Structure formats: structure tokens, C-alpha cells
Amino acid sequence: ALEMHAGDASVADFGCTAIAYLACDSDSRCEQLMRAGAAARIVAALEMHAENASVAEGGCAVIASLARGSDGQCEQLMRAGAAARIVAALEMHAGNADVAGVGCAAIANLAVGSDGRCEQLMRSGAAARVVAALEMHAENVAVARGGCAAIAYLGRGSDGRCEQLMRAGAATRIVATMVAHAGHAGVADRGCKAITVLVRESDGRRDTFKAMGAEELVGALAQRHSGDACVQEAAEAALDTMRLRLGR
């Protein structure tokens, strides 16, 4: 249907939504959808109906779900052009919190475990769009979770990508997001992980976060979420990294 009625925005909308539901929490269904050509059709729908917010939300949600599967599925999505279409959707619908939430989640899921995909996402402009989403939708929990996760995965293992993220304003947005959602354990966890990634291997980035009060903030969040093992582990790693001076 998505291929036959490619020019019909309502079909694209319902088709993306249907695939998103089918892909949710099932590796086997995701694999079957990928074999059926879902990656190419979703990316095509996002391109053809770029101005339609419902298609943008549904398409990014599908990519986020499909990208939770195997590394091979992520590579298929990237070859189909997912990176450019997600970033374009985030830019075109910058004021839409729902698009921002699933767009950031899609970037985070595609970025997991692959320097190559991270580099491609960064070249497509992911850093600026994720930071902008965190700023524009500062009160939205889904955007907060997805945005902090995206920053953590994009920066992991690369000093250059960390510097790009910092130049885009990631430090300010992470700290502000953690303050705004101090009561949400998922945001605290992802924010701490993002800080750990960005601070590691750089005294300069470490000092930037410390000047923003990140060390005290992480300590306070660790106390507030004392019963959450994930937050405790993430906070401990962030604090350890912020206290370690490397001499460079």
C-alpha cells in the first residue's frame, strides 16, 4: 500500500502507524518487516510527505522501533537514507513535541554501537537538531529522555563528536533538562550517561560541566532516586568522571 499509494499522505500516515505497532517489541516482526522492504518505504514516505507532521511522527517512530533490532537492520535503515530524513523531519517540524520525541529516539537507537552510523548522523546535522529539540520542548519528558540518550550515544568513543556536541550547546541543554525533570528517573539516568560520555577524556569539557553545577546536580539526583539502581550506577560514573583530572 505504501508503494502503490506513495503520493497519498493519509495512506503514508496510516501505513507508518501500522508498521510502528507491528514493530513494537518484536525482533522477529521487525526482521520480517525489513525483509518486506519497510525501510525503503518509510524513508520514501518521510521524503515525499515531508511537510506532514503525522507522517513525520509515524515515520520516525517506525525507524526508532526497527532500529532497536539488529545492527544489520540499523545499517539497512541508514543505507535507505534514514539519517537525513529524521534530521529533516526534526527541522521541518521543530515545534512539534511528538515529532521531536520520536525523532530523538530514532537517532539514539541508530547511533548505538556504531561509529560509522554516528558519524553519518552527525554529518546529517543530528547534533544541532537534538539540542534544539531539548531547548524548544524543555518540559517534555519523551524529548528529554530521547535527547539525552541521543547525545550519549552520538558522543560515545569520539572526542571529535563530543566537541561537536558541546559546540552545539549540549552541556547547557543536558543540565537544564536534568533540572527541569529532576523527579524523573529515566531522564536522570540518561542525563548522567550523557555527562559521562562528554566529560571523559577532556578536562575542558569536565570544567564546563562543573562550572554549570553538574557535579552538585548529579549528587542531588542520586539522593533523590536512591532506590533506582540504574540512576545510582549512572550517577556514580558521572561523578567519578567529573572528579578525574587528566592533565589535558
Residue by residue, pLDDT tens for the chain (248 residues) are 566 556 667 777 777 777 776 777 777 777 888 887 888 888 999 998 999 999 999 999 999 988 987 889 999 999 999 999 999 999 999 999 999 999 999 999 999 989 999 999 999 999 999 999 999 999 999 999 999 999 999 999 899 999 999 999 999 999 999 999 999 999 999 999 999 999 998 999 999 999 999 999 999 999 999 999 999 999 999 999 998 765 54
- What burial class does residue 92 get, using C-beta atoms within 10 Å of its C-beta: 0-12 exposed, 13-18 middle, 19+ buried? middle
Which triple of cell numbers denotes residue 46?
518521510
Cα–Cα distance for residue pair 17/247, rounded to 1 Å? 51
Which of 182, 184, 218 shows the shortest CA–CA distance to 199?
A: 218
pTM: 0.92
String of b and e for 208-244 (b: at least 16 CB within 10 Å)? bbeebebbebbebbbeebeebeebbebbebbbebbee
